[in-house]
Amino acid sequence: MAIIDLDITHEHCPMTLVKTKLALSRLSHGDILSVTLKEGEPLNNIPRAVEEQGFRVLSITKTPEKEIYRVDITLKSQMKIFGITGTLGAGKGTVVEYMIERYHFRHYSVRAYLLENIRQRNLPENRDSMVIVANDLREKYGNSFIVDELYKTALAHHCPAIIESIRTPGEIDSLKNKGNFILLSVDAPPETRYQRILCRQSETDRVSYQDFLENEKREMHSDNPAKQNLAACIARADFSFYNSADKETLYKEIDKMMQAMTN
C-alpha cells in the first residue's frame, strides 16, 4: 500500500483533471491517491469525473485551511467489507471474533480509534468521552470521517474486513456509496446485555444498570446525522442477529448468513 499525495490547489481547469488522471494511471491495487484541491470547480468535478473513469472516491474531507479539501481515491475492488452495529453488550465483539477466526476477516475498530484520540486529548476513558470525541470528529470532518478512515485502511489490505461499530446514518450512507458494503446488526434483551458488559469489564463498562440504560437511551435516537442513532442504524442492517442464547447458536446464524451470500 502507498499513499500518494497530489496538490492541485494552484492548477486550473483542465489541468486539475489532467494531473489527477495522470497520477491515477500509476496506482496499484491498494494504493490511495490523496488529492488536495480547492472548493468550487475542482471539488465539483474531480470526484464525479474519476468515478466515471472507474475509480472509487473513498472520502472527501475539509482541511483546516479555508476552502481547501482532500479527496482520497483508489482503484475499485470486489472485496466485501462488513460493518456491524447494535445495542450495548449485544455481542458485536463476539460476531467479529468468530468472523476473524472462522472466515479470516480483518478487524477495524471505531472504539480503538476513539480511545486513541481520547488518550491524545488527555480525557477520561469512559463512554461520555467516546461520545464527545466521536461527535467532535464527525462535526469537524464530516459525518462519516471515522469509518471512512477505517475503510481506507481495510481496502489497502485487500482482504475481507469488518468495521466495528457503525453508529450513525451518515456513516452507513458513505459506506454504502462505496459499494461492496454489508451491514450487520446485533441485539439482545437489556438484562442479558448488562450482565455481559459486567463480565468484560472494559474501561467504559464499569457502570450501574441505570447508567447503562441511560447511556443507551442517549445513543438510540438523534435528528442529527452526525450523532449516534443506533435505532436508525439497526433498521438499515442487511442481516440482523438476536443474540439471546449461547455463542454456538449465534455462530450457526453467522454461518447461515455467509452460506447464503455465496449461493
Catalytic amino acids?
13
Secondary structure element (H or E) that encloses residue 185, with its range? strand 181-187
- CA separation, residue 230 to residues 152, 158, 169, 170, 249 (Å): 23, 29, 8, 12, 24
DSSP letters along 23-84, please?
HHTT--TT-EEEEEEETTHHHHHHHHHHHHTTEEEEEEEE-SSTTEEEEEEEE-----EEEE
Number of H helices, E strands in the chain: 11, 9
Question: Which burial class, exposed, middle or buried, applies to 5 when counting CB atoms under 10 A from its CB (0-12, 13-18, 19+)?
Answer: exposed
Cα three-residue angle 47-33-43, rounded to 5 degrees: 25
Question: Which burial class, exposed, middle or buried, applies to 143 when counting CB atoms under 10 A from its CB (0-12, 13-18, 19+)?
Answer: buried
Q: How far apart are CA 69 and CA 63, in angstroms?
A: 5
